[in-house]
Structure 1
Amino acid sequence: MPTRRTFLAASAAAAFASSKLAADESSAAKANQICVFTKPFNSLTFDELATQTANIGFNGIEAPIRPGGHIEPEAVPDKLPQLVAALEKQNQKLTVLTSNINDPSDPLSEAVLRTAAKLGIRYYRMQYFKYDESKSITKQIDEWRMKMKDLAALNKQLGITAVYQNHAGRNYFGAPIWDLHRGLDGIDPTQVGVAYDIRHATVEAGMSWPIGFHLIRPHIQVVYVKDFTWGEARPTNVPLGDGRVDSKFFRMLARTDFRGPVSLHEEYIDHRKPELVPEHWEAIRKDLKTLKSWL
């Protein structure tokens, strides 16, 4: 017959197991969703795209909805609901909408965003700003800040978040990170935030990329992942884990409160050739395995 002591011990063990399960479920709920940038797959139907991303193990896609992408901006009101419906049938989401939007006064841009917001799409990637080296750098940043403030006001009204990707290159606003930090000063990150690209950050900052990461961290809404090596004149994209991107970044990221999506970009196979679609899927499958091991 059980004694009071064994009963209390059993009750304590059960309570511990229950609390551990709740903690595990809470951690799982907070896990970063992983999506894939689907630029190489314009030749596929929406159903084919959704089925394949689900089969590989993604939670959703980052879809180019811009000139030359899956859907032309003018066709968004008719076709974007079709893409979202195809994804939902496979328990997938359109996690990030990649756009050519950075002007809130453009009526077509507003129509795209209104449609996206009604469909429950939370994030869209902005188009880049590029420096004119013959003009004041700081004045250009200040001008772009005002434009992003106007865009933030529209996003707040619609309930959607713009993300600006830091992109490596001589004249890209956001490449050095500090300028992006300055440009976003005073703007709510849930209205205009950052898609932090660790590949581009490493290209631009070399060994000092952690400083830029910590600087821009409060603005980060989405994380982009891809890899590169240095060629003779420029960086070359390579499979994840074969290049210069440091897996320690993900341990650093895990120590923050970041709970946004992570988007995998495979850009080392020519995306313009439909006959290479099977190679893209196989490469993405391998990159996803590496990414999950790092996360």
Structure 2
Amino acid sequence: MQNQITRRNFIQKTTFAAGTLPFLAAGLPAFSRNTADMPVPKIHVFSKHLQFLDYDKMAEMAAEIGFDGVDLTVRPGGHVLPERVEEDLPKAIAALKKHKLPPQLFCTAVEGVGPLDKKVLETAAKHGLKYYRMNWYDFDKEKTMPESLEMHSKQMKALGDLNKKLGLIGCYQNHAGLRVGASPWEIYQLLEDTDPGHMGAQYDIRHATVEGGLSWKNSLRLLEPRIKTIVFKDFAWVEKNGKWEAGNTPLGEGMVDFKSYIGLLKNYQLNVPISLHYEYPLGGAEHGATTLKVDQKVVFDAMRRDLTRLKEMWKEA
């Protein structure tokens, strides 16, 4: 009798366990998901590195190299100057569409809802752009750092409200150095009171690694729910004149742990647009020069190489 009860209990328990497996699986964290086949997100070339070309040639080369789009600079010194946005942005958008590159990303110097900033965003929204990187804030030397963050948080709230009205998504990039946003917690606070659908972060793994060599995974985890776009680039510490500094390198040749990073992006199912940057020496293209000191082919070859490498690393992770 005891054996029968034991067997019956065993059958009941195993049947219950089998029945609950689907529900348990549904509640498991993202890290249990099968991410092997997650496709590479859309990759856009940062147009800062093609500012030696006019709109049509820029779009033509971006398409020929194999990019999915262009992260267009609409800022002082960019492909489109803010004060000429109504005249020139339509020309740039027309060039992208001509070469079958959907207009999505643009990079700005927008900081708030002033007249010029509003004109830039309103014009961009009118022509179908969606995601933009805003300018970085500085800490006010006359205020404490928490007071500065509180002041800028109010600017972000107003900007997020404007984004919602226009159907845009603003992004604040984490950037190494002394400006607001070197610490991911600063960006977290800036975004806290903003609309998650229209204001978020642009996560830059290069700068995250510079600032948090062993803790960048925490910054990714912290900001992941608000990440709208991501930047790919690489660096290595180099000694110059007795001082150490972060020197930019081709993708995969520096210190960024791309295998771990891409693995986490896959686990988080973070499929957002990528902006691919080329900050290492390329005859001036790395700085947005309009005239190069090298043959254009050097730049185009570098772009092909890093684009190919990014896709390879994505598959390997």
Task: Report the Cα offset of residue 31 of structure 1.
Answer: 4.9
Q: Distance in 2 between matches of 1:182 and 1:45?
A: 39
User: Amino acid of the residue matched to residue 257 of structure 2?
Assistant: D
> Counterpart of 1:238?
249
> Counterpart of 2:206?
199
Match of 1:279 among 288, 298, 301: 298
SS in 2 for 1:288: helix
> Counterpart of 1:147?
155
> Counterpart of 2:181?
174
Task: Report the Cα offset of residue 193 of structure 1.
Answer: 0.6
Q: Distance in 1 between matches of 2:226 and 2:195?
A: 8
Q: Distance in 1 between matches of 2:175 and 2:250?
A: 19
Q: Distance in 2 between matches of 1:91 and 1:183?
A: 36
Match of 1:50 among 59, 62, 69: 59
Q: Distance in 2 between matches of 1:167 and 1:95?
A: 22
Q: Distance in 1 between matches of 2:309 and 2:292?
A: 25
Q: Distance in 1 between matches of 2:280 and 2:103?
A: 23
Please give the residue correspondences for 1:100-249 in structure 2 after superposition, counting only pairs within 5 Å. 100-104=109-113, 106-133=114-141, 135-169=143-177, 171-232=178-239, 233-247=244-258, 248-249=260-261
**1:289 partnered with 2:300:** no
Moved more, 113-122 or 254-263: 254-263
Q: Distance in 1 between matches of 2:53 and 2:293?
A: 11
Contact 1:33–1:260 (8 Å) recurs in 2: yes
Q: Distance in 2 between matches of 1:84 and 1:34?
A: 17
Percent sequence identity is: 38
SS in 1 for 2:104: strand
Contact 1:37–1:264 (8 Å) recurs in 2: yes
> Counterpart of 2:78?
69
Q: Distance in 2 between matches of 1:220 and 1:279?
A: 33
User: Amino acid of the residue matched to residue 292 of structure 2?
Assistant: P
Task: Report the Cα offset of residue 133 of structure 1.
Answer: 5.0
TM-score calculated relative to the size of structure 2: 0.81
Q: Distance in 2 between matches of 1:186 and 1:255?
A: 27
Q: Please give the per-residue CA displacement for 1:111-151, whole angstroms capped at 9, x wherever unaligned.
A: 11111101110011100002245531111111111100000
SS in 2 for 1:231: strand
Contact 2:161–2:195 (8 Å) recurs in 1: no
**1:83 partnered with 2:102:** no
Q: Distance in 2 between matches of 1:66 and 1:97?
A: 9
Q: Which runs of 5+ in 2 are unaligned?
A: 1-36
Match of 2:47 among 38, 44, 52: 38
Contact 1:189–1:221 (8 Å) recurs in 2: no
Contact 1:189–1:220 (8 Å) recurs in 2: no
Measured on the aligned residues, the alpha-carbon RMSD in Å equals: 1.5
SS in 1 for 2:100: coil
Q: Please give the per-residue CA displacement for 1:226-278, whole angstroms capped at 9, x wherever unaligned.
A: 00000122100000000011112011101113221011000102323424333
> Counterpart of 1:3?
none
SS in 2 for 1:223: strand
Moved more, 219-228 or 258-267: 258-267
Look at both structures and tell me which one has the larger radius of gyration over its CA atoms.
2
Contact 1:228–1:235 (8 Å) recurs in 2: yes
> Counterpart of 1:4?
none
Q: Distance in 1 between matches of 2:238 and 2:139?
A: 25
> Counterpart of 1:267?
279
Contact 2:59–2:96 (8 Å) recurs in 1: yes
Q: Which runs of 5+ in 1 are unaligned?
A: 1-26
Q: Which runs of 4+ in 1 moved over 4 A?
A: none
Q: Distance in 1 between matches of 2:141 and 2:76?
A: 27
Task: Report the Cα offset of residue 95 of structure 1.
Answer: 2.7
Q: Which has the higher contact order (CA 8 A, sep 6+)?
A: 2
Q: Distance in 1 between matches of 2:87 and 2:202?
A: 27
TM-score calculated relative to the size of structure 1: 0.86
Task: Report the Cα offset of residue 39 of structure 1.
Answer: 0.8
